[in-house]
Amino acid sequence: MKNTVKKMTVLLGAFVLTACAGSGDTTSGGAASIPTNTNFYAHWVHSFEEQNGQKTPNIFRVKGSRQFPPSRFRMEFGFDPNGQCNYKYLSPVDAHEMRDCVYTKIGNKVYIYDQAGALLKHISFTLQSPASKDRMVMTYGVAEPVKAVTKEGEKPAVKKQ
């Protein structure tokens, strides 16, 4: 029972965060939120050649903005304003593919979740500056998002419909 409550709490926290997708780049205008920086919502391709041998920060360019040299693997992300995304999956047998995901952007932190709601920590990242029209600079890694906490033996609050 204890593990079931803990799993439900984590999943609820992930889905609540997913519902806030894009909330870090908005300003309030009454009841509606208006995006202030829509440059982030694009398909990004890792341009590691621009990093001059440095591991971080990672530089990404908008897909189609330049001709990239051949590579065995080049990370890619695609983000839309509704919280949907996809990323290039690094297959151990070189059968790389784009996989669907959801994300939450809180300030400069981008939390990426698989379709089951599990946080993909290895590809979640921190933006080093707001994305420009054709350039995104980031570093992998984010602190765990805030999760709903329940007291021992207490059930998480669930709204009845």
CATH of the domain at 44: 2.40.128
Mean pLDDT (the chain) is 80
In a domain, 88, yes or no: yes
Domain count, the chain: 1
Q: What is the average pLDDT across 7-22?
A: 43
For 75-120, what is each residue's pLDDT tens digit?
A: 999 999 999 999 999 999 989 999 999 999 999 999 999 999 999 9
Res 52 pLDDT > 70: yes
In a domain, 129, yes or no: yes
The secondary structure of the chain, three-state, reads CHHHHHHHHHHHHHHHHHHCCCHHHEEEECCEEEECCCCCCCEEEECHHHHCCCCCCEEEEECCCCCCCCCCCCCEEEECCCCEEEEEECCCCCCCEEEEEEEEEECCEEEEECCCCCECCCCCEEECCCCCCCEEEEEECCCCCCCCCCCCCCCCCCCCC
Q: Which domain holds residue 88?
A: 2-21+36-140
In a domain, 160, yes or no: no
In a domain, 146, yes or no: no
In a domain, 148, yes or no: no
In a domain, 159, yes or no: no
